[in-house]
């Protein structure tokens, strides 16, 4: 009997090996075809179209709330004993961006949750830096935060802008920490900004009531937990790869590459991922030129603050039309926040590096999105590609 079983196993193993090789070849061909579909003229044209807004008023209110939260947080911390921490306070204020379409009670929970994640990301990265970890370890910490917060956002369906804002906060905390006091001060400043965001949204959410009753928000289907975890792992690996390449190249802000990869890979489908990559690169190029012109004039502190507030408001009004338009204003807002945290930064260096980091992150995001795509992802893209061709 044992001899018979051995013969069956030996005859079965070559067939299984052939099946595995054939499956790998099919997957490779499928991914190569997917990549070709992402680079068609139809796909590029779709990236530059204007979307129909679900509610222009909601964008206006979200921009107003975020701008007020950032401004108030900066003013409070600037007039405290730690004026050098205004950048972290502004980061906490970005919690006001989340939950714009959520019912009132859920909005409170969403803003608190996102404020906690912004504060936690600042704390974790600062602690890792304080413990004397290498730059590689800091980069991997930011990538870990990207993956975990992606899972959290998708599982609890917290909505946009998603994990990319949390990664932005984690990246800002990568600067050296020489004492526990610095860790505590950064964390507290971010928490203050988060608390301000909750107070501002709570006080002004009445502006959303009539519009919430009027519009019909599409129901978001719950994804299987396995898919959610897979997406988080994919983004963590992509963010790590982008940031490590940027660090190896000697760039000063490798977290920006991680942010780029995270933002691109947040797309729910492959064609949206490609759209985001193209739009992010184009918008960042224009926005970097804009911020270079601003910083070259060496504006005073309060001018920088008012520009941050203005760009934040404009972003939320226009980003729904096309992601590239939002990037034109997000880029100067982010770089001006960086400038507040490090006024010695050179305008030209900041602008050029932002462009390179963004392009690297976008390219890595596309490569990993296709490489880690599932058969369902590729089938959906094929269907979408046929629809685009039928409209010609």
pLDDT tier for residue 2 given thresholds of 50, 70 and 90: low
In a domain, 20, yes or no: no
Which residue carries 């701008």 as its tokens? 67
Tell me the percentage of the chain whose pLDDT exceeds 70: 93
Q: What is the mean pLDDT of residues 93-106?
A: 93
The string of DSSP codes covering 75-128 is HHHHTSS-GGGHHHHHHHHGGGGS-TTS-HHHHHHHHHHHHHHHHHHHHHHHHH
In a domain, 143, yes or no: yes
In a domain, 46, yes or no: no
Report the chain's mean pLDDT, rounded to a whole number: 88
Number of domains into which the chain is organized: 1
In a domain, 271, yes or no: yes
In a domain, 9, yes or no: no
In a domain, 389, yes or no: no
In a domain, 133, yes or no: yes
Per the model's pLDDT, the better-predicted residue between 188 and 264 turns out to be: 188
pLDDT digits (tens, 9 = 90+) for 196-213: 999 999 999 999 998 998
Report how far residue 4's alpha carbon sits from residue 305's, in angstroms, rounded to the nearest whole number: 80
pLDDT digits (tens, 9 = 90+) for 337-368: 888 876 655 666 778 888 899 999 999 988 88
pLDDT digits (tens, 9 = 90+) for 27-38: 677 788 888 888
**pTM (2 decimals)?**
0.90
* Segments forming the whole domain that contains residue 262: 53-213+225-378
In a domain, 385, yes or no: no
How confident is the model at residue 114, as a pLDDT? 97
């Amino acid at each position: 009997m044992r001899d018979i079983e051995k013969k069956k196993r030996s005859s079965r193993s070559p067939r299984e090996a052939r099946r595995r090789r054939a499956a790998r070849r099919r997957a490779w061909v499928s991914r190569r075809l997917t990549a070709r579909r992402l680079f068609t003229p139809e796909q590029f044209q779709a990236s530059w179209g204007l979307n129909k807004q679900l509610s222009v008023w909601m964008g206006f209110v979200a921009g107003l709330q975020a701008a007020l939260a950032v401004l108030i947080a900066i003013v409070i911390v600037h007039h405290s004993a730690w004026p050098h921490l205004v950048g972290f306070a502004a980061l906490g204020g970005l919690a006001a961006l989340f939950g714009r379409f959520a019912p009132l009670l859920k909005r409170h929970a969403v803003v608190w949750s996102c404020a906690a994640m912004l504060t936690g990301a600042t704390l974790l990265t600062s602690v890792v830096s304080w413990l004397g970890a290498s730059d590689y370890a800091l980069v991997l910490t930011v990538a870990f935060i990207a993956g975990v917060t992606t899972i959290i956002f998708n599982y609890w369906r917290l909505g946009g802008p998603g994990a990319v804002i949390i990664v932005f906060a984690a990246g800002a905390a990568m600067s050296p920490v020489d004492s526990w006091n610095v860790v505590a001060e950064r964390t507290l400043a971010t928490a203050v900004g988060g608390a301000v965001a909750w107070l501002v949204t709570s006080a002004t959410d009445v502006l959303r009531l009539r519009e919430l009753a009027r519009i019909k928000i599409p129901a978001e289907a719950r994804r299987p937990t396995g898919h959610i975890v897979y997406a988080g792992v994919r983004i963590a690996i992509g963010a790590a790869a982008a940031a490590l390449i940027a660090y190896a190249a000697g760039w000063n802000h490798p977290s920006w590459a991680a942010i780029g990869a995270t933002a691109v890979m947040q797309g729910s489908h492959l064609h949206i991922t490609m759209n985001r990559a193209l739009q992010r690169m184009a918008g960042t190029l224009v926005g970097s030129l804009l911020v270079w012109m601003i910083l070259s004039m060496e504006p005073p502190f309060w001018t920088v603050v008012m520009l941050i507030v203005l760009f934040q408001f404009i972003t939320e009004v226009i980003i729904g039309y096309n992601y590239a338009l939002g990037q034109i204003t997000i880029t100067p807002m982010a770089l001006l926040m960086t400038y507040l945290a490090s006024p010695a930064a050179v305008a030209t260096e900041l602008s050029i590096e932002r462009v390179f980091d963004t392009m690297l992150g976008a390219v890595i995001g596309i490569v990993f999105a296709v490489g880690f795509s599932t058969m369902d992802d590729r089938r959906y893209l094929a269907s979408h590609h046929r629809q685009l061709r039928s409209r010609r």
